[in-house]
Amino acid sequence: MIDGHYLLRRIGYSGAAFFVCITITFFILHLMPGDYITNYLLSLSHTIPQEAVDQFYQQYGLDRPLGEQYIIYICNILQGQWGYSYQYGLPVFPMIMQKLSWSLVILLPAVLLGIIIGIVLGAWSGWRSGGKKDLALFNIMIVFRAIPEFWWAIMAVWVFAFYLQWFPLGGFTSISVLISGLNPWDVLYHAILPICLMTSFVATGNYYMMRNSMIAVIGEDYITTARAKGLDERAVLWRHALKNALLPMVTMTTFQVAGIIMGNVFIETVFSWPGIGLLTTDALRMRDLPLLEGIFLLDALMTIGAMLAADILASYLDPRIRMGDQ
Amino acid sequence: MSLLAVSNLSVQFEGRAGTVPVLDHIDLEINTGEQVALIGESGCGKTVFGMSVMRLLPSNARVTGSARYAGRDLILADEREMQQVRGKKIAMISQNSAFALNPVLTIGDQIAEPLTLHTSCRGNDLHREVIALLTSLGIERPEENMQKYPHQFSGGMRERILIAMALACNPDLIIADEPTSGLDALVKAQILELLRTVMQDRTLLLITHDLGTASALASHTAVMYAGEIVEYGPTQDLFTYPLHPYTQGLIAASPSAGFHPIPGVSPAPGQVPSGCWFCPRCSCAMDRCSTVHPSLKKTGTNRQVRCLRYD
């Protein structure tokens, strides 16, 4: 399992990685050509008074040298100050949290379900690899995966929402929300189609990995040993193959869960879902730097946290990994 | 009395490139209390023979012939019947101890597995049984060691664990596939000594390419070449007076005899020459040898040889 000193050191490294991440993010974002004024405001109106432009730069500290801006940024971050959005003039953190919670409505159930379905189907398919059922499922998955997500999303809207009218065309709630307030059932009704689609995408990815992992495990000598003991196929699968095949999945699935934080641009665009994916593309187009920095900071935090969690989890599942053993 | 009587056993593998014969009409009898070694070079089909008796070959293998054990033919037995034979009646010590144990289960669990499967031994009895097995195979501090995982043991220890697993249900026949592969000389000598003690009054089919292992453990030896048996006899006789030129070549190639290699390489499966399969490499081949395929013939009281010179 885990040696305490090692864990502390690991957390220290994670902190260092986090700082490297936000430093690179900060400089790349600030080195992007164009800014909020030139990219966005000028496209709306050609006559912005020079005083207003100067005031904007001064207000957000953009007139200072980049190094100084960076130091101010780091100091603010350490104090929990994530800054204000250029576009909305609102604090960044609550904005991100609000959009994120909408993204999670779709992504959390979709990723969890997708991982489970992918692993179960992949294990089944890998265990019967080469058989007719396995090949059928494998080819279905290839076709599904080969066509981009947004095409499936558009088709789903077209068939299930437009033609069959089982689901709404988009959005996260009905117009009745203005009278009766937000209704969880109404939101769920709007979320079902995007959840189903997202679940299928996540499931296909995990299906491939689990299938390959299972095929590799089946060829191992200890599976033959297990059969030679007289175990039936079910026991060989459950007791000997499954846990070994799951080991490589731990890292990948942990990252997928962490990746929820970035939302899904395609799904959110097609379904007009007010999630963090849309917020990100929007902020990028507007050069809304504080908002982008906030989103990427959260992403860095989650990814680094996921790496740590994956290592700890793996060390509990795999006795050969003893974190801290030299 | 014969415990396992294999007759006319042939194995072919079906692949994309067609059918590849691996074993050709093998006849081999193993009597209760005998230790029979099957020797030959890599790729001659030794392991496939053991696996076909256990019915553990992959699904693309076509097995014909018979392997009679306790009144039934294992080749025709269905999967459920075989599950009652494997581990309980016929146990296997797999090749390569580094990979033959499941890395995520403790060795105690893995040794207990055949016992829970085939006996009514549970709970404390099971625990005691596992400890007794470990102790009898020279594993110290069994209480502590049964909680450990395979990677925490050395190669020699893992081999002992594999032997313990095979002996757990006190099977009628043990098939040991290269039980000393990958061990250094000192550990190998210890394992051989241990195997000699535990196999003394058991029935063993030993599969090996190592002549030393065969002569240390086996009462009888069968020599395989390119998927068929070319010579069979009591181990001591066979090693002292080898009849078949291939056996003579094997013995001459061993370190103690001065490393004299047999010229050429053994034929790839399915590409055997007409006539005697060993003929192209044989130093005493006659004209007939390239056209007539010899059959396995009895010579003397208890020897068999597949060579035209003894016709």
SS (H, E, C) B52-89: HHHCCCCCCEEEEEEEEECCEECCCCCHHHHHHHECCC
CA of B281 vs chain A CAs: smallest distance (Å):
34
Q: B161-195 pLDDT, tens per residue?
A: 999 999 999 999 999 999 888 888 899 999 999 99
Are the Cβ atoms of B118 and A232 closer than 8 angstroms? no
**Distance between CA B103 and CA B95 in Å, rounded?**
16
- Averaging pLDDT over each range in A58-62, A88-92, A215-219, which range is the top one? A215-219
Instruction: Name every chain B residue with its beta carbon within 8 A of the beta carbon of A228.
Output: 54, 56, 86-87, 91-92, 94
Are the Cβ atoms of A318 and B114 closer than 8 angstroms? no
CA angle A65, A68, A70 (to 5 degrees): 110
* B227 has a chain A CB within 8 A of its CB: no
**Chain A residues whose C-beta sits inside 8 Å of any chain B C-beta:** 220-222, 224-232, 239-240, 243-244, 247, 317-320
Q: Is the pLDDT of residue A171 over 80?
A: no
Closest CA to B262 of B251, B270, B271: B251
Q: What is the pLDDT of residue A323?
A: 55
Residue B111 structure tokens: 């040794």
Q: B53-110 pLDDT, tens per residue?
A: 999 998 889 999 999 998 889 999 999 999 999 999 999 998 888 899 999 999 999 9
Which amino acid, one-letter code, is at A305?
Answer: G
**Distance between CA A316 and CA A312 in Å, rounded?**
7
Instruction: Name every chain B residue with its beta carbon within 8 A of the beta carbon of A232.
Output: 79-80, 83
Q: A40-53 pLDDT, tens per residue?
A: 776 777 777 888 88
Q: Is the pLDDT of residue A28 over 70?
A: yes
CA B286 to each of CA A78, A253, B140, B241, B282: distance values in angstroms, whole numbers, following the listed order? 91, 67, 58, 21, 9
What pairs with residue B21 in β-bridges?
B12
**Distance between CA A87 and CA A279 in Å, rounded?**
12
* B47 has a chain A CB within 8 A of its CB: no
Asked whether B151 and A319 are in contact (CB, 8 A), the reply is yes
Q: Is the pLDDT of residue A324 over 80?
A: no
A61-73 per-residue burial string, b: 16 or more CB within 10 A, e: under 16: ebeeeeeebbeeb
Q: A267-309 pLDDT, tens per residue?
A: 888 888 888 888 888 888 888 888 999 999 998 998 999 888 8
Give the nearest partner residue to B94 out of A225, A230, A317, using CB atoms. Answer: A225
Instruction: Name every chain B residue with its beta carbon within 8 A of the beta carbon of A131.
Output: none
Are the Cβ atoms of A220 and B96 closer than 8 angstroms? no
CA A138 to each of CA A204, A316, B76: distance values in angstroms, whole numbers, following the listed order? 9, 31, 33
Q: Quick one: pLDDT band at residue A191, thresholds 50, 70, 90?
A: confident
Q: A223-275 pLDDT, tens per residue?
A: 999 999 999 999 999 999 998 999 989 888 888 888 877 778 888 888 888 88
Residue A193 structure tokens: 């189609």
Are the Cβ atoms of B113 and A227 closer than 8 angstroms? no
Question: CA dihedral in degrees (A259, A261, A262, A263; nearest 10)?
Answer: 100
Q: What is the pLDDT of residue A322?
A: 67
Domains of chain A and any CATH numbers: 4-78 (no CATH), 95-313 (1.10.3720.10)
Give the nearest partner residue to A228 out of B84, B86, B151, using CB atoms. Answer: B86
Q: Quick one: pLDDT band at residue A326, thresholds 50, 70, 90?
A: very low
Are the Cβ atoms of B118 and A224 closer than 8 angstroms? no
* B99 has a chain A CB within 8 A of its CB: yes
**Distance between CA A312 and CA B202 in Å, rounded?**
47
Q: A75-90 pLDDT, tens per residue?
A: 988 888 888 888 888 9
Are the Cβ atoms of B92 and A244 closer than 8 angstroms? no
Q: Mean pLDDT throughout B182-209?
A: 91
Global pTM value: 0.81
Q: What is the pLDDT of residue A2?
A: 64
How does DSSP classify residue A261?
G
Concatenate the DSSP letters of all residues of A1-35 into one string: ---HHHHHHHHHHHHHHHHHHHHHHHHHHHHSSS-
Q: What is the pLDDT of residue B250?
A: 92
* B16 has a chain A CB within 8 A of its CB: no
ipTM for this prediction? 0.90
Instruction: Name every chain B residue with its beta carbon within 8 A of the beta carbon of A224.
Output: 56, 94, 100
Are the Cβ atoms of A318 and B94 closer than 8 angstroms? no
Q: Quick one: pLDDT band at residue B233, thresholds 50, 70, 90?
A: very high
Which amino acid, one-letter code, is at A187?
Answer: V
Q: B116-161 pLDDT, tens per residue?
A: 999 888 889 999 999 999 999 989 899 999 999 999 999 999 999 9
CA A262 to each of CA A251, A325, B73: distance values in angstroms, whole numbers, following the listed order? 18, 35, 62
Instruction: Name every chain A residue with its beta carbon within 8 A of the beta carbon of B82.
Output: 230
Q: Mean pLDDT throughout B260-275?
A: 87
Percentage of the residues of chain B whose pLDDT score is greater than 70: 100
Are the Cβ atoms of A320 and B100 closer than 8 angstroms? no
Are the Cβ atoms of A230 and B99 closer than 8 angstroms? no
Q: Give which of B102, B111, B133 to mutate to test A binding, by max A Cβ within 10 Å.
A: B102
Q: What is the pLDDT of residue B3?
A: 92
